[in-house]
């Protein structure tokens, strides 16, 4: 069998005394793309082409990263506070572990307060317009960030024997899967899904009301994540035997669908 996606041998790039983690590079690259695309889209909506995306990002990005890490640590406490856990590992973001739910929630909250503060100084469209402008770029950032999981050899799915399977070295295989060599490349599934949603929103989002593009992004992402989460085999907390992220996808997706259906109106 030809394995299309072997797990990378190295997850860091060493340049003299400098060590760069590919996971961190993927996150940084994704953020840069999200800011660039969001800025370009927002300028088309803003008064006189004025944009505050970079200024808002100064607050939203670090708050989002903190939120993503907090969600990951809270939803996977055993890895840090369990019998063999090390609480100090909770700050090692470069080793992987950013919960998108926490990142988007706190990042959006930070962006909202920063945007409101700036709107008192200059004339700006509603925050819903701002969120819509960011949505496709955030999706692209998520797609790029998922390749960080590939470099770290993590978050793959159930065993799979086909040409697009991911070859996983034995040191990365979870307990009970040592006899299997190839698995579902869930990082790739999510990256492709996010990219597809971004393309659709860029192509057809202009006809939607303010806020609906962002709502569509959240719903579509949750829909894909629901099915991707079902085939993942990494350790995760469960409720009624179902992974927590499956429940979150279901509830957040339903809420975003209701917001979209209602047709979010502009808020001044």
**pTM > 0.85:** yes
CB of 23 closer than 8 Å to CB of 96 = yes
Query: How far is Cα 15 from Cα 195, in angstroms, rounded to an integer?
Result: 31
Over residues 199-216, the pLDDT tens digits come to 999 999 988 999 999 999
Give pLDDT tens digits for 121-148. 888 899 999 999 999 999 999 999 999 9
Question: How many secondary structure helices (H) and strands (E) does the chain include?
Answer: 8, 7
6: helix, coil or strand?
strand
Confidence (pLDDT) at 91: 79
Q: Identify the pLDDT of residue 196.
A: 98
Query: What's the pLDDT tens digit per position in 159-170?
Result: 999 999 999 999
Q: Residue 111 in contact with residue 60, Cβ under 8 Å?
A: yes
Q: Which of 22-31, 82-91, 193-202 has the weakest average pLDDT?
A: 82-91
**What pLDDT digit, counting tens, does each position of 39-63 carry?**
999 998 876 767 899 999 999 999 9
Instruction: Give the pair of three-digit tokens for residue 263.
Output: 């047709």
Domain count, the chain: 1
Asked whether residue 217 is domain-assigned, the answer is yes
Query: Does residue 14 surpass a pLDDT of 60?
Result: yes
214 inside domain? yes
What is the number of other CB atoms lying within 10 angstroms of the CB of residue 29?
16
Task: Give me the residues paired with residue 6 across strands.
Answer: 167
Question: Is there a contact between 91 and 51 (Cβ–Cβ < 8 Å)?
Answer: no
Residue 36 lies in a domain: yes
* 37 φ, ψ (degrees, to nearest 5): -70, -40
φ/ψ of 19, rounded to 5, equals -115, 120
The answer to whether residue 102 sits within a structural domain is yes
The pLDDT value given to residue 237: 84
pLDDT of residue 118: 92
Q: What is the pLDDT of residues 234-247, one digit of tens each?
A: 888 889 999 999 99
Among residues 31, 104, 35, which one has the least CA distance to residue 71? 104
Of 250, 254, 257, nearest to 227 by C-alpha is 250
pLDDT level of residue 266 (50, 70, 90 thresholds): very low
Q: Which residue has the higher pLDDT, 236 or 114?
A: 114
Cα–Cα distance, 251 to 258 (Å, whole number)? 11
- Print burial letters for 44-57: b (CB count within 10 Å at least 16), e (below 16): ebbeeeebbbeebb
Q: Residue 182 is part of which domain span?
A: 19-168+176-262
Asked if 16 and 137 touch (Cβ cutoff 8 Å), the reply is no
Q: Is residue 197 included in any domain, yes or no?
A: yes
Q: What is the mean pLDDT of residues 93-119?
A: 88
The first and second tokens of residue 145, run together, are 């960030």
pLDDT attached to residue 27: 93
Question: Could you give the dihedral angle defined by the CA atoms of residues 24, 28, 30 and 31, in that order, rounded to the nearest 10 degrees?
Answer: 140
For residues 9-29, average pLDDT = 87
Give pLDDT, residue 18: 82
Q: Is residue 108 part of a domain?
A: yes
Burial class of residue 229 in the structure, from the number of CB atoms within 10 Å of its CB (0-12 exposed, 13-18 middle, 19+ buried): buried
Task: Examine residue 137 and state whether it is found in any structural domain, yes or no.
Answer: yes
182 pLDDT above the threshold of 80: yes
* pLDDT at position 267: 41
Give the pLDDT score at 268.
Answer: 37
Residue 191 confidence (pLDDT) = 97
Q: What are the CA-CA distances from residue 136 to residues 19, 133, 252 (Å)?
A: 31, 7, 18
From the centroid of its chain, how far is CA 64?
Answer: 10
Check residue 4 and give its pLDDT: 67
Q: Report CA dihedral (62, 64, 67, 73) to the nearest 10 degrees.
A: -80
What is the predicted pLDDT for the residue at 247? 95
Banded model confidence at residue 2, pLDDT cuts 50, 70, 90:
low
| Residue 157, in any domain of the structure | yes
Closest by CA position to 133, among listed 68, 50, 225, 231: 50
């Amino acid at each position: 069998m030809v394995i299309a996606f072997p797990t990378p041998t190295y997850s860091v790039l060493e340049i003299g005394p400098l060590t760069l983690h590919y996971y961190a590079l993927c996150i940084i690259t994704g953020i840069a793309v999200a800011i660039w695309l969001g800025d370009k889209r927002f300028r088309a909506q803003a008064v006189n082409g004025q944009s505050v995306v970079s200024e808002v990002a100064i607050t939203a990005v670090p708050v989002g990263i903190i939120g993503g890490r907090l969600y990951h640590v809270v939803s996977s406490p055993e890895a840090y506070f369990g019998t063999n856990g090390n609480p100090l590992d909770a700050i090692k973001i470069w080793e992987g572990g950013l919960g998108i739910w926490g990142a988007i929630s706190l990042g959006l909250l930070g962006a909202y307060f920063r945007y409101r503060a700036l709107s008192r100084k200059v004339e700006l469209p509603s925050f819903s317009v701002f969120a819509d402008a960011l949505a496709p770029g955030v999706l692209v950032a998520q797609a790029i960030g998922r390749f960080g999981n590939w470099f770290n050899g993590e978050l793959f799915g159930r065993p799979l024997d086909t040409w697009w399977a991911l070859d996983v070295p034995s040191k990365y295989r979870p307990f009970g899967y040592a006899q299997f060599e190839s698995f579902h490349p869930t990082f790739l599934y999510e990256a492709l899904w996010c990219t597809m949603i971004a393309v659709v929103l860029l192509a057809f989002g202009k006809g939607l009301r303010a806020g609906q593009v962002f709502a569509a992004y959240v719903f579509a992402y949750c829909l894909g994540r629901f099915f991707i989460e079902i085939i993942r085999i990494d350790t995760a907390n469960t409720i009624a035997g179902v992974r927590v992220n499956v429940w979150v996808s279901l509830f957040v997706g339903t809420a975003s669908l209701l917001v979209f259906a209602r047709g979010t109106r502009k808020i001044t």
